């Protein structure tokens, strides 16, 4: 007996005998193009598992100083404070009749990742004074500088001299950015460089075990009443043995029922997967 498949039993869509019977046989892959998941034909790679949350992205149009170009490849734009100046060689720019815009890459910036995940409140507005803890080379701080405009000021703190060297170059071309070499755990060391009346926003992105405690101490000391604290949490730096979701829950609980609930209220919260694995972004408002 032959083990060859019964070829005559296989349906051939081109065979006129099957025309108009029940339409063409659907493709096994649902008719999608054959490029691999996550890889676009133009070479743009989405992070593994990324699914575009189109309806969420539209919400971020309401963030002051931020424009989102929706479409197949959504892009977060800020108006370049220093048109014609390239702050980072890898930055993508976009020009239209309104001027020059810079594209904020959600894979390089937790603020960008939070916006892609639908952030609705950032606390930034034109003219804000911002204390930025963990400024590194100044990538995200330079976008904050675009958002708050020439009347605002970003105080960019980092404790690593190597990155502050690069940061100084970025600050030189942007008058509303000031570099500070200092340790976020020791606010006494930089208090004199901040405005006496405090700041409108404290933004923190540092990978420290006590990152929440450091954030609270800085907000308690420097954030104005009614001001916003933006905290990028890296769960693995807090406790590598615990589930990130449990760590995020504990931090939430602290702001809802702990001692800090008397002074702060959470106004936005996003988990940053798949742009930043095991990271979450909290926005709190000082009461
Ligand atoms: C993930 S990078 C920040 C990236 C930056 N926020 C951006 O998006 O462009 C974290 C930075 O925090 C800094 N850092 C960590 N602990 C710090 C501390 N206690 N005080 C000041 N800076 C700190 C590190 O030197 C590093 O440059």
Residue 132 contacts residue 198 (beta carbons within 8 Å): no
Closest Cα to atom 16 of ligand 1 = 206
Report the separation in Å between the CA atom of 229 and the middle of ligand 1, taken as the mean of its atom positions: 16
Report the separation in Å between the CA atom of 286 and the middle of ligand 1, taken as the mean of its atom positions: 23
| Tokens representing residue 228 in the block | 């916003």
Ligand 1 atom closest to 234 (CA): 1
- Cα–Cα nearest to 141, from 187, 88, 184, 98: 88
User: What's the CA angle centered on 179, arms 175 and 181, to 5 degrees?
Assistant: 170
pLDDT digits (tens, 9 = 90+) for 206-256: 999 999 999 999 999 999 999 999 999 999 999 999 999 999 999 999 999
Alpha carbon of residue 214 to chain centroid: 21
| pLDDT given for residue 48 in this prediction | 67
Answer with the residue of higher pLDDT: 251 or 56.
Answer: 251
Residue 134 contacts residue 113 (beta carbons within 8 Å): no
**d(C-alpha 266, C-alpha 228), whole Å:** 10
Ligand 1 atom closest to 111 (CA): 8
| pLDDT given for residue 2 in this prediction | 46
- Domain 110-286: which topology? Rossmann fold (3.40.50)
Of 78, 136, 214, 217, the one to substitute when testing ligand 1's pocket (max ligand atoms within 8 A of C-beta) is: 136
Burial class (CB in 10 A: 0-12, 13-18, 19+), 76: buried
- Cα–Cα nearest to 178, from 162, 196, 190, 160: 190
Closest Cα to atom 11 of ligand 1 = 134
The yes-or-no verdict on residue 83 having pLDDT over 80 is yes
Ligand 1 atom closest to 214 (CA): 19
Ligand 1 pocket at CB < 6 A: 109, 133-134, 136, 139-140, 157-160, 163, 183-185, 205-208
| pLDDT given for residue 230 in this prediction | 98
175 contacts: CB under 8 Å, gap ≥ 6: 150
Report the separation in Å between the CA atom of 183 and the middle of ligand 1, taken as the mean of its atom positions: 10
**d(C-alpha 45, C-alpha 39), whole Å:** 5
- Average of per-residue pLDDT across 40-66: 59
- Cα–Cα nearest to 204, from 228, 224, 188: 228
Q: Is the dihedral of CA 224, 225, 226, 229 positive or negative?
A: positive
The yes-or-no verdict on residue 123 having pLDDT over 90 is yes
- Average of per-residue pLDDT across 84-111: 92
| pLDDT given for residue 87 in this prediction | 86
| pLDDT given for residue 68 in this prediction | 87
Of 104, 158, 281, the one to substitute when testing ligand 1's pocket (max ligand atoms within 8 A of C-beta) is: 158
Report the separation in Å between the CA atom of 264 and the middle of ligand 1, taken as the mean of its atom positions: 23
Residue 180 contacts residue 157 (beta carbons within 8 Å): yes
User: What's the CA angle centered on 264, arms 239 and 156, to 5 degrees?
Assistant: 70
Closest Cα to atom 22 of ligand 1 = 158
Residue 76 contacts residue 116 (beta carbons within 8 Å): yes
The yes-or-no verdict on residue 17 having pLDDT over 70 is no
Domain boundaries, the chain: 110-286
Backbone phi and psi for residue 209, each to the nearest 5 degrees, phi listed first: -60, -45
Q: Is the dihedral of CA 107, 109, 110, 111 positive or negative?
A: negative
CA separation, residue 102 to residues 46, 151, 167, 268 (Å): 19, 19, 18, 25
**d(C-alpha 146, C-alpha 104), whole Å:** 11
């Amino acid at each position: 007996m032959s083990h060859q498949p019964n070829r005559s039993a296989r349906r051939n869509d081109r065979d006129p005998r099957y025309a108009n019977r029940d339409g063409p046989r659907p493709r096994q892959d649902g008719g999608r193009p054959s490029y691999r998941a996550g890889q676009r034909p133009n070479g743009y790679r989405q992070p593994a598992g990324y699914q575009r949350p189109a309806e969420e992205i539209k919400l971020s149009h309401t963030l002051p100083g931020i424009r989102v170009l929706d479409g197949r490849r959504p892009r977060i734009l800020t108006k370049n404070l220093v048109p014609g100046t390239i702050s980072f060689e890898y930055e993508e720019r976009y020009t239209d009749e309104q001027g020059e815009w810079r594209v904020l890459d959600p894979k390089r910036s937790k603020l960008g990742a939070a916006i892609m995940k639908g952030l609705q409140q950032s606390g930034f507005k034109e003219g804000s004074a911002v204390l930025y803890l963990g400024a590194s080379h100044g990538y995200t701080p330079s976008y904050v500088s675009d958002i708050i405009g020439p009347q605002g000021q970003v105080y960019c703190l980092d404790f690593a001299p190597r990155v502050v060297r690069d940061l100084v170059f970025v600050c030189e071309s942007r008058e509303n950015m000031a570099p500070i070499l200092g340790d976020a755990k020791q606010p006494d060391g930089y208090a004199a460089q901040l405005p006496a009346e405090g700041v409108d926003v404290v933004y923190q992105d540092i990978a420290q075990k006590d990152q929440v405690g450091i954030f609270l101490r800085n907000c308690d000391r420097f954030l104005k009443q009614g001001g916003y604290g933006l905290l990028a949490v890296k769960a693995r730096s807090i406790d590598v043995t615990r589930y990130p979701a449990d760590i995020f829950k504990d931090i939430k609980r602290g702001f809802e029922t702990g001692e800090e609930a008397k002074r702060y209220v959470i106004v936005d919260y996003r988990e940053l997967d798949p742009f930043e694995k095991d990271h979450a972004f909290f926005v709190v408002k000082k009461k």
